Amino acid sequence: MTSDYFLISIAVVVGSYLVGSFPSAMLIGKLVAGVDLRKHGTGNLGASNLTSQVNAIWATPVIIFDIFAKGSLPVLVASDLVLGLGVGVEAAAALAGITGHNWSIFSGFNGGRGMATMVGATLALNFPVLIAYGIVPSLGVLYTPWKDSAVWWFIALLILPIWAVLLNLPFELLCFAFLFLLVTFAKRITSNSLRGKNGEITARLLATRLVFDRDILNREEWIEQ
């Protein structure tokens, strides 16, 4: 490996973070409805909050952009289709894109949850991982009484590294699974102030964020606030 390889790899990872940081939902919210999503609804700069605060029609291009531009494109650039930097750099580029979406440098390090970006990244990285990752929340929401998708995504996150082992994936993708889990947990816990409405940091608040991805148990009240 030459110094050029490392420089190109670093450039791809940094570029992936910057692409991931592009605040598409925030821009559409401001341009279409004059709404700053950081100050309305859940405060999330993603398609779900854009849907509740503007409408679902404008969320569609955001989802498409998050999947293919933020998620798939960085991986494809690092892959053998373009630069051939290896699966390790592909995984790093995927994580950088997700991290950029979650903590955008262009919006005061606010962002979304990275779910659509993760879909795009795994679509380009390893399609079986995408299927394994998505099957748990899909089956859970469709075929169980519990329809809260955030909980099922939480379960899917926990078993994602297990899927990587069962599918006999490269070590780099196992690391990707673990790191994505940590990135998502960090985002869920720190997405709002660590203190609740009464100014206290409680284990219940942190647990509610980690499992339900919100500050209160009632999903409808959280979305409509």
pLDDT tens digits for 1-22? 688 999 999 999 999 999 999 9
Task: Find the DSSP H helices in 54-86.
Answer: 56-65, 73-78
Query: Under DSSP, is residue 169 helix (H, G, I), strand (E, B) or coil?
Result: coil
pLDDT at 80: 95
pLDDT at 13: 98
- Specify the higher pLDDT residue, 46 or 96: 96
Q: How far, CA to CA in Å, does 21 sit from each of 100, 107, 124, 147, 208?
A: 4, 8, 19, 30, 26
d(CA 151, CA 157): 10
Would you say 98 and 71 are in contact if contact means Cβ atoms under 8 Å apart?
Answer: yes
d(CA 142, CA 153): 13
Q: Which two tokens stand for residue 201?
A: 């940091």
Query: Under DSSP, is residue 131 helix (H, G, I), strand (E, B) or coil?
Result: helix
Average confidence score pLDDT of the chain: 88
Residue 159, classified by CB atoms within 10 Å of its CB into exposed (0-12), middle (13-18) or buried (19+), is: middle
d(CA 32, CA 35): 8
d(CA 77, CA 17): 13
Would you say 170 and 87 are in contact if contact means Cβ atoms under 8 Å apart?
Answer: yes
User: In this predicted model, what pLDDT tens digit does every residue of 13-69 receive, in sequence order?
Assistant: 999 999 999 999 999 999 888 888 888 877 788 888 888 888 888 889 999 999 999
pLDDT at 222: 61
Alpha carbons within 13 angstroms on the beta-carbon side of residue 61 total: 10
d(CA 47, CA 193): 21
pLDDT at 54: 85
Query: Under DSSP, is residue 203 helix (H, G, I), strand (E, B) or coil?
Result: helix
d(CA 41, CA 44): 8
* Sign of torsion over alpha carbons 94, 115, 187, 183: negative
User: In this predicted model, what pLDDT tens digit does every residue of 152-199 receive, in sequence order?
Assistant: 889 999 999 999 999 999 999 999 999 999 999 999 888 765 555 665
